[in-house]
């Protein structure tokens, strides 16, 4: 069902163009006419004119503002030729002319003055009107090109069925629950009668929630591809404009267009750009523009049910906790679909989809790659396949090999290998012991995965060396012991430096940061402290996406704040002691592996596993 483009009648545009052309022509004529006519009389330098006056050759002079014309005295009964010169500011001139007996007068007003005056009065308004008409005519039309001044009109793009690169649910993997929900939405749109006959109310708003890169935008496009109805797509940031009131008029416009095309889908990407909680930005007195836009959106969503038009609003955000509660109320975005990071089999499926576009070697094992990439979102995996392809091309291979994928994983996990950053011998030694420290402690700790590789080749922004730990399985829950183990592993590097060199370098800053964050989350988020009990001391729903969110604390009393601090310190201290004890107990092994690492720079695979299997657990 193709959409008729709602283009305006062509007349205003035609008129505007004619006006533009005419006024342009007038402008040209105005600019060049004087020059054209003025070039009839030969021009001479002012000095020559003065010379001729002094020599008594000049009979008559007409002094104009921009031009002096003069006639040479008659000779043999023939009237002398006329010349023109450009005047300079010369107060002596009248005196000189009088002295020489030259007849002189001010020039008569220019012949075409009525014409110039007319131009001066008529042209500017004409140009103004023409430009105005031009933009008005351009900003019209539904899906047509948008003009600079198309302020109020919505910028929504309209997808039409049968578009060349159609995205369907087949292009999305690893988010099965979300897909099931959205298939239902597609059913609503295709056969609304089936649902309304029983008296069911078709949901109005569906909110896709999930971390960045998990395929929310992709899913929305797939819905558009499957549903076979018009699909209006716009990003939340496009509503937010410099001018107050523009956003809300855009919302109104968008819904107006959509209602005409119903049944259809409106997709608002990055909803948080307009849907931020109205109370949360009260700090600077609020943001009027965004508030108005949001209010308009709420009004529109409430409004269209009455008309009976099937318009489903799909929206996506990766920050649901910032959304205004009014948006999530029943009757608005009452359905929330979680689009989460894919699990093992999901990752394999996504890798399959993206590796269809590249040439895979026979040894490539997508399942093994999926195993090594927990926590990767769909976008990361797409990027991974591309990185592997780039590496294969650089290595002049015909097809992508498994080792290209292995290198690509490391690139994504640890940043780019930096051969150019050269460590001196002492630094290299410190880094080697540091990394082996992580590996030794890590190999004894449950829950932090298996140590797969130690390297002292600098990588990424700050890492001078790194220890790669890869989980053997997907983990969704961690217990307290495992978290403590992770903290101890993080402190293993620094502890090794302490034991071997008796001093500490700046290299462990990042480890300490992560260890402290983790300890703080244990206390404030996971309720793992006996002293503080199972209370959540952090604010908001950051726990929803375990990981990188900052950790703003709830308002707590001074005593509680102190208690939290001391508990966090306690956890880190205990882990530190544990790491030190493990390394002291395995001092010889630490030396042996570090020496070897200094030689080879990288230890990995079976060799590493057999070395680390010699680690002795603490004998308490």
- Residues marked as catalytic: 435
d(CA 214, CA 220): 12
- Please say which residue, 371 or 551, places its beta carbon nearer to ligand ADP: 371
Assigned token pair, 348: 């394999």
77 vs 502, beta carbon nearer Zn ion: 502
Asked whether position 338 contacts ligand ADP by CB under 6 A, the answer is no
CB of 316 to ligand ADP, least distance (A): 6
Contact partner at residue 214 from Zn ion, Mg ion, ligand ADP, none, CB < 5 to 8 Å by partner kind: ligand ADP
Contact 315, 333 (CB under 8 A): yes
Number of shown-chain residues binding Mg ion (CB under 5 A): 1
Q: How far apart are CA 277 and CA 192, in angstroms?
A: 33
> What are the residues whose beta carbons fall under 8 Å from the beta carbon of 254, sequence distance 6 or more?
154, 156, 232, 234, 266
Phi, psi of 307 (to 5 degrees): -70, -15
- Degrees to nearest 5, angle at CA 402 with 401 and 403: 90
Kindly state the smallest distance separating residue 235's Cβ from Mg ion, in Å.
9
Residue ranges of alpha helices (H) inside 358-457 are: 366-371, 378-394, 402-414, 425-444
Name the β-bridge partners of 455: 466, 602
| CA 154/CA 259 separation, integer angstroms | 14
* Residues touching Zn ion, count (CB under 5 A): 2
According to CB under 6 A, which one of 214, 296, 310, 538 is a site residue for ligand ADP? 214
Residue of 263, 275, 374, 378 that binds ligand ADP (CB under 6 A): 378
217 binds Mg ion (CB under 5 A): yes
Does 206 participate in binding ligand ADP (rule CB under 6 A)? no
Select from ligand ADP, Mg ion, Zn ion, none the partner in contact with residue 226, using the beta carbon and a kind-dependent cut-off of 5 to 8 Å. none
Among 174, 205, 320, 507, which residue interacts with ligand ADP (rule: CB under 6 A)? 174
Of residues 501-560, those binding Zn ion (CB under 5 A): 511
Nearer to ligand ADP, 3 or 385 (CB): 385
Q: Taking the complex as a whole, how short is the minimal distance between the CB of residue 359 and ligand ADP, in angstroms?
A: 18
* Residues with Cβ within 8 Å of residue 17, at least 6 apart in sequence: 134
Residue with Cβ nearer ligand ADP (172 or 401):
172
d(CA 89, CA 102): 19
Closest to ligand ADP by CB, 175 or 298 = 175
Q: Work out whether 235 is an interface residue with ligand ADP (CB under 6 A).
A: no
Residues 6+ apart with CB under 8 A from 315: 205, 206, 207, 208, 267, 268, 269, 271, 275, 333
Placement of tokens 């014409």 in the chain: 115
Which one, 238 or 498, has the nearer CB to Zn ion? 498
- Based on the shown chain and the rule CB under 6 A, indicate whether residue 175 belongs to the binding site for ligand ADP: yes
Structure tokens belonging to residue 34: 């004087």
- Confirm or reject binding of residue 320 to ligand ADP (CB under 6 A): no
379 binds ligand ADP per the rule CB under 6 A:
yes
At closest approach, how far in Å is the CB of 342 from ligand ADP?
A: 6
Q: How many CA atoms lie within 13 A of 536 on its CB side?
A: 10
Residue 342 or 493: which CB sits closer to Zn ion?
493
> Could you say whether residue 313 binds ligand ADP (CB under 6 A)?
no
What's the 3-state SS for 314-335?
EEEECCHHHECHHHHCCCCCCE
Q: Which of 214, 263, 493, 495 binds Zn ion (CB under 5 A)?
A: 493
- Binding residues for Mg ion, rule: CB under 5 A, are 217
- Binding residues for ligand ADP, rule: CB under 6 A, are 172-175, 212-218, 316, 350, 353, 378-379, 382
- Binding residues for Zn ion, rule: CB under 5 A, are 493, 511
């Amino acid at each position: 069902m193709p959409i008729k483009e709602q283009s305006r009648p062509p007349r205003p545009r035609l008129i505007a163009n004619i006006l533009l052309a005419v006024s342009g022509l007038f402008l040209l004529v105005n600019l060049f006419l004087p020059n054209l006519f003025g070039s009839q009389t030969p021009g001479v330098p002012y000095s020559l004119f003065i010379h001729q006056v002094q020599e008594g050759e000049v009979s008559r002079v007409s002094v104009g503002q921009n031009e002096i014309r003069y006639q040479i005295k008659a000779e043999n009964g023939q009237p002398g030729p006329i010349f023109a010169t450009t005047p300079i500011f010369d107060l002596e001139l009248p005196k000189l002319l009088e002295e020489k007996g030259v007849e002189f007068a001010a020039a008569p007003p220019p012949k075409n003055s009525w014409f110039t005056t007319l131009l001066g009065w008529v042209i500017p308004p004409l140009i103004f009107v023409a430009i105005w008409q031009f933009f008005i005519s351009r900003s019209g039309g539904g899906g047509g090109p948008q003009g600079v001044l198309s302020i109020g009109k919505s910028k929504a793009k309209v997808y039409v069925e049968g578009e060349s690169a159609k995205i369907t649910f087949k292009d999305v993997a690893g988010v099965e629950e979300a897909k099931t929900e959205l298939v239902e939405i597609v059913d609503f749109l295709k056969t609304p009668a089936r649902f309304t006959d029983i008296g069911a109310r078709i949901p109005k708003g569906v909110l896709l929630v999930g971390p960045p890169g998990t395929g929310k935008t992709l899913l929305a496009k797939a819905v558009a591809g499957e549903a076979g109805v018009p699909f209006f797509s716009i990003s939340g940031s496009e509503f937010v404009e410099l001018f107050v009131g523009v956003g809300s008029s855009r919302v109104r416009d968008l819904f107006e267009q959509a209602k005409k095309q119903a049944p259809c889908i409106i997709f608002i990407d990055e909803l948080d750009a307009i849907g931020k909680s109205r109370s949360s930005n009260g700090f600077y007195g609020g943001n009027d523009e965004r508030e108005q836009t949001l209010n308009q959106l709420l009004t529109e969503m409430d409004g269209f049910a009455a008309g009976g038009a099937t318009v489903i609003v799909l929206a996506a955000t990766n920050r649901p906790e910032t959304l205004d509660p009014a948006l999530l109320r029943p009757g608005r975005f009452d359905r929330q679909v979680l689009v989460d990071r894919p699990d093992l089999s999901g990752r394999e499926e996504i890798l399959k989809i993206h590796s269809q576009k590249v040439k895979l070697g026979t040894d490539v094992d997508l399942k093994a790659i999926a195993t090594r990439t927990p926590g990767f979102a769909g976008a990361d995996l797409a990027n991974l396949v591309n990185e592997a392809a780039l590496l294969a091309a650089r290595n002049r291979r015909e097809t992508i090999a498994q080792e290209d994928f292995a290198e690509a994983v490391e690139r994504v996990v640890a940043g780019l290998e930096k051969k150019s950053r050269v460590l001196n011998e002492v630094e290299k030694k410190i880094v080697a012991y540091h990394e082996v420290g992580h590996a030794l402690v890590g190999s004894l700790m449950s829950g932090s995965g298996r140590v797969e590789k130690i390297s002292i080749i600098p990588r990424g922004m700050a890492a001078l060396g790194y220890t790669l730990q890869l989980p053997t399985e997907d983990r969704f829950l961690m217990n307290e012991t495992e978290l403590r183990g992770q903290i101890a592993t993080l402190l293993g590097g620094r502890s090794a430096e302490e034991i071997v060199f008796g001093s500490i370098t700046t290299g462990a800053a990042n480890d300490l940061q992560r260890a402290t964050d983790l300890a703080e989350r244990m206390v404030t988020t996971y309720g793992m402290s006996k002293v503080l009990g199972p209370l959540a001391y952090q604010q908001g729903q950051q726990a929803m996406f375990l990981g990188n969110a900052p950790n703003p604390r709830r308002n707590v009393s001074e005593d509680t704040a102190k208690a939290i601090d001391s508990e966090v310190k306690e956890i880190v201290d205990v882990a530190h002691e544990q790491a030190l004890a493990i390394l002291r107990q395995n001092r010889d092994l630490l030396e042996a592996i570090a020496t070897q690492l200094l030689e080879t720079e990288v230890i990995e695979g079976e060799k590493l596993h057999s070395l680390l299997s010699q680690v002795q657990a603490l004998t308490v």
